[in-house]
Chain A
Amino acid sequence: MSTDAAIVADELTKRFEEEAGVFDLDLRVDRGRIVALIGPSGSGKTTTVRLMTGLLAPDSGSISVLGQDPTRFTSETRARIGYMAQDSVFFPDLTLRENLNFAASLFGVPLRRKRRVNEMVDLLDLGDAIDRLLRDASGGEKRRLSLAATLIHGPELLFLDEPTAGIDPILRTKFWDHFEHLSEQGSTLMVTTQYVGEAAYCDLVAVLAKGRVLALDSPDALRRRAFGGDLFDVVLTAPPARDDLDALTQAEGINKVTWLDDQSVRLVVEDAGVVSATLADWATQRGLDLERSEPYVPSFDDVFVELVNAAEDEGDETDPEDEVALAG
């Protein structure tokens, strides 16, 4: 896997009225990686993608995509990029196949492309709908056509703006399997999503709110960052005393202890891999029996909520009058 950067943004800013836009975005995406932009509606995900594709020019900062300024992309560079817009836009009087062929022609796929078109049809499960007029197609079929049109020319860099919106969970999993396959083949993907759990498929996740990056890291690192460490669940055979838990809180490598119920606690630990020995020592010293102890992997929805709440708290602390209102 090549490690040189496909995307580099440095203090990228695009400002709209009413404080909307993207502000001081720093980002580096290496080739062959999948990066997710997650955040609530209005957080700046689509603006970021539009800046990266050259659809918008930044007000300040710099950006390099495949080594070029997006507003000055050459045709050759554009042919190496695929972009799936948030809204499925095609010609309603053409069939899905005709629309797909139009997109293929637009990106310079040679006219002998039947095999390639059929591959896309199979991949996106469009077999029954492919010869239907677009105006008669369902929302999901339009979304799949949009993705097929983005992939048809085999781009090395993909910008996918909410590709799985309106797609059933089975097909969504299939999409992500294919994205991972593309990544393994060397393609770079930038994906925006409101399905926060999908961030787990990615190499890098940028959490956005109000046009700013709250966090940018790998999914595992973000989990740790959200909760202050790894999570570890402990179940005892009998309820422990308050002193027992105070002693556990003082143990090395354990940052925080939270009650789940009278016999269970959740620990925030420095390293889930080495906490077992500490727990065994603690149980022996306090005369307790451990029924079960295991790492807990929180969902990315939980991670996202923690990060956003933390950002809100931080905002409240720095400027109590400046309320951070995050849209759903």
Chain B
Amino acid sequence: MRSLTRSLAFLRKELVSVWRQPRLIATLVLGPFLILLLFGLGYQELPEPFRTVVVAEQSGSAIGVDAAELDEAFGEGIDLVEVTDDFDSARQSLVSGEVDLVLVAPEDGLDALERGEQAVFSILHSEIDPVMTGSIDLLARLSVGQINQEVLTGIVEQARTELSQTEGPLADALAQVPDVDAGLLVSPFTVETSSVTEPPPSQAAYYAPGVLILLTQHLALTFAALSLVRERQLGMTEMFRVSPLTVREAMSGKYLSFLVLGLVVATGLAFTMPLLGIEVQGPIWSFALTVALVIFASLGLGFALSGLAKTDSQAVQYSMVVLLVSIFFTGFVLPLDQLTVPVRWVSYLVPATYGIGGLQDVIFRGQPARPPLMGALLIYGLVMVALAWLAVRKDVEPASAPAVKVS
């Protein structure tokens, strides 16, 4: 009973301490809600269309593709700002940032064909973001493919009309061909993709579990690390060492208090999801279990890190390093498969790696989180309990007290 009293003292103390710090609540508790909400509401599925200047003969290019057709071929990917035959002026607009792309149509398309060469559409841009550069490249290839298809369709239609007005073996052969659309004739195959996960998540929705897990992990880790460091800085550890408090009682009280706090925040974040149009398709218990295990593992990591930190600011720095590692190595931004195997081990050192995968299972795949992920989180958490034990032991057991000079 006394043991329980001591553990509950920490529960009450931690919760009241947090409650009494409105700025901390605003930063660490309300902040995550707003971040998730802002992310969901502000994220655009598609980038803004590229502001584009087309450089072409005003009467249309030599192969018969005019600016209007180019606009149609590039679809919603571009915003046609101007058509000009002045390349230098268009380039200047690009350099000054007034436009994003300069699309130069080939002037000598027919000549190139007669020479047995491809006519080249040149696209000039000033993008430095590799993702956006890739988008421009993809947009260009798809659009030129579309243009090629339209050109070929026109040629086939024209040939078919001209042959139908002649007689001879070629006309007879044409009569044998089914009357199919010219467009189909030049592009007989297409592709369709579908996912067993229905409906597939939007891009904003896809990132939501990652955001939830990262914020929860960061919150739990920071609270845990700061809690021990602050007690040390205040000098409370001296009272702990002299009191009957045991490491088990101190740890259970702290784990319990921050688990409660973390679950309150995570529940709040979960309620933010419907606002973003995200529906949890899997079992709620698995959702709760995943979040609880992430908090459990993160608390252990926070307590363990507190053993290395001497001040508040050091503890915060450590937690920021873990957050950075989490952003790049947990599958939040880049798929884990794109990391080489030795580097991928870094991913397995962060609870979010398992939590993001687990929550994606529950939210999008409509199934409980994969047992290996949950098992890994549990083992991770237990290993961290052992490391945290060593950190807390220093603060609670007199025998391990450092020999400091006192008067």
Interface residues of B in 1-38 (CB under 8 A from A): 1-2, 5-6, 8-9, 12-13, 16-17, 20-21
Q: CB of B115 within 8 A of chain A? A: no
**Interface bits A25-56 vs B (CB < 8 Å: 1, else 0):** 00000000000000001111111001001111
Q: Which residues of B lie under 8 Å from residue A79 when comparing CB positions?
A: 243-244
Q: Which residues of A lie under 8 Å from residue B9 when comparing CB positions?
A: 101-102, 105-106
Q: Is the CB of A91 within 8 A of B398?
A: no
Shortest CB distance B241–A (Å): 6
In the complex, what distance in Å separates the CA atom of A85 from the CA atom of B242? 10
Q: Which of A1-9, A68-76, A247-255, A292-300 contacts B (4 or more CB under 8 A)?
A: A68-76
Interface range on chain A: under 10, 10 to 19, 20 to 34, or 35 or more? Answer: 35 or more
Q: Is the CB of A105 within 8 A of B6?
A: yes
Q: Is the CB of B407 within 8 A of A98?
A: no
Q: Is the CB of A54 within 8 A of B17?
A: no
Q: Is the CB of A72 within 8 A of B399?
A: yes
Shortest CB distance B69–A (Å): 69
Closest to B230 in A: A91
Shortest CB distance B17–A (Å): 5
Q: Which of B138-146, B231-239, B269-277, B384-392 contacts A (4 or more CB under 8 A)?
A: B231-239
Decide: A94 near B20, CB < 8 A? Known: A50-B406, A102-B13, A108-B2: yes
Q: Is the CB of B17 within 8 A of A94?
A: yes
Q: Is the CB of A91 within 8 A of B406?
A: no
Decide: A89 near B399, CB < 8 A? Known: A55-B242, A106-B6, A108-B244: no
Q: How many residues of B contact A (CB 8 A)?
A: 31
Decide: A91 near B242, CB < 8 A? Known: A53-B398, A98-B13, A105-B6: no
Q: Is the CB of A54 within 8 A of B234?
A: no
Q: Which residues of B lie under 8 Å from residue A98 when comparing CB positions?
A: 12-13, 16
Shortest CB distance B401–A (Å): 5
Closest to A111 in B: B5
List 5 A-B pairs, minimum CB-CB distance, nearest first: A105-B9, A108-B2, A89-B235, A75-B244, A54-B398
What are 28 residue pairs bridging A and B, where the CB atoms are less than 8 Å apart in the complex?
A16-B403, A16-B405, A44-B407, A46-B407, A50-B406, A55-B398, A71-B398, A75-B246, A76-B244, A79-B243, A79-B244, A89-B236, A89-B238, A91-B13, A91-B17, A93-B17, A93-B21, A94-B13, A98-B16, A102-B9, A102-B12, A103-B239, A105-B5, A105-B6, A105-B9, A106-B243, A106-B244, A107-B244
